[in-house]
Structure 1
Amino acid sequence: MAATSPTWVFGYGSLIWNPGFAYDARVVGFVRDHRRVFYQGSTDHRGTPQFPGRTVTLEHQPGATCWGIAYKIREEDKQTALEYLEVREKQYDEKIHLDLYTDSSPKVPAVENVTVYLATTNKESNKNYLGPAPLEEMARQIYLAEGPSGPNKEYVFKLEDALNKLGVVDPHVQELANAVREYSDAKLSK
């Protein structure tokens, strides 16, 4: 009987601070040619169908890197973990496989073929794709949106904090977190 290769899942959003499934190992690293963007609407976690929140997805961009955490799932936990992820990530309409790199091995992947859930721009398969918007508009939407998993702004701040703990500065996350804080300050000063 041939040995099966391990299953790895890459977290670049809430999976960084809250994987929610059993895993055997975790590796901090990055995927190439993709950047993290707040372009996916969330109607089931950080917003509602009437007022979607914004969560991250990956956008293909040659030369870009997106840092996160890859989790190795034990064979005996695989079915449970993948069933859980299919529900949790159900608004992401595509799974791709990318190589994960770490700063200590820039030419050779640390882990090959990690599974990555992402939201495409295809409005037929992804009805919740919101796409880009002006920073102030995204900040306002994030500040106001709230869903079953909590306020959308909490998601942004937890992602910012989780990345900071990894020693990663993501300019898009940082800009948006600052814009949400500015929007909040403006609301409080009125």
Structure 2
Amino acid sequence: MVFWVFGYGSLVWNPGFEYDEKIIGFIKDYRRVFDLACIDHRGTPEHPARTCTLEQVEGAICWGAAYCVRGGPEKERSAMEYLERRECEYDHKTLVDFYEEGDPVKPVLIEVIVFTSTPDKVSNKYYLGPAPLENMARQIATAFGPCGNNRDYLFLLEKAMFDIGHEDDMVIELANEVRKVLGIVGNGISKEKRSVGSPHIVLKPHIPSLQPRLLLEAVATDS
């Protein structure tokens, strides 16, 4: 048996569990948004952080990383238990397909479980909903929790998407607005650096070329 996990937020740079293979790819008809409250990692109940969830938008794509866990039911169960603890603020799952850049038509993985949040503030206490960019930036700039600052989550995501070669314009815009709130000038990833590389970006570890594989079940999540 093989267990796949897709991450579109902190799992892109910090999966937090043992895995055997990593694939960069995307899912369709979803986009990354900062509409979810985090009260136990990057924020507190009194001052929640804003972290990623997915919003359904026809025609959109969301890039991220899929991780493979091999080793039998015990290893898979251990990984899923970890993910469910980490993703406790997500209350909804759905099945989608996962694609690689070389073939955007035929999925390489099927029945990927994506953890998202129900977009309803009444039924889902963690759903913050959309807000003006300036308001989100002020919240992210000041929130912190046991795992660190909310702004670091955003900046690490910005860098992670740069590292895999698929920046998210919304992440970049929000990160630059947070820098403006913090009074940081010139620390973002400029368009020029995004196109030719940046001297302050840590080089990616080598990911070996992947052989063709059978379509497999997978799980996707974020924190």
Q: Same fold (TM over 0.5)?
A: yes
For 1:183, the equivalent position in structure 2 comes to 181
Report the alpha carbon displacement of residue 123 of structure 1 after superposing the two structures with TM.
3.4
For 1:70, the equivalent position in structure 2 comes to 66
> Quick one: higher RCO (CA 8 Å, sep 6+), 1 or 2?
2
For 1:28-177, what aligned pairs fall within 5 Å after superposition? Answer: 28-74=24-70, 75=72, 76-177=74-175
Report the alpha carbon displacement of residue 126 of structure 1 after superposing the two structures with TM.
2.3
1: CA distance, partners of 2:78 / 2:51: 24
Structure 2, unaligned stretches of length 5 or more?
A: 185-223
State how many pairs are aligned: 182
Q: Report the residue type matching 1:15 in the other structure.
A: L
Q: Report the residue type matching 1:20 in the other structure.
A: G
Report the alpha carbon displacement of residue 73 of structure 1 after superposing the two structures with TM.
1.7
1:14 and 2:13 matched: no
2: CA distance, partners of 1:31 / 1:90: 22
TM-score (norm 1): 0.92
Structure 1, unaligned stretches of length 5 or more?
A: none
1: CA distance, partners of 2:69 / 2:91: 21
Identity across matched positions, percent: 53
Please provide the CA RMSD for this pair: 1.2
1: CA distance, partners of 2:131 / 2:8: 21
SS in 1 for 2:25: strand
Bigger mean CA offset, 124-133 vs 38-47: 124-133
TM-score (norm 2): 0.79
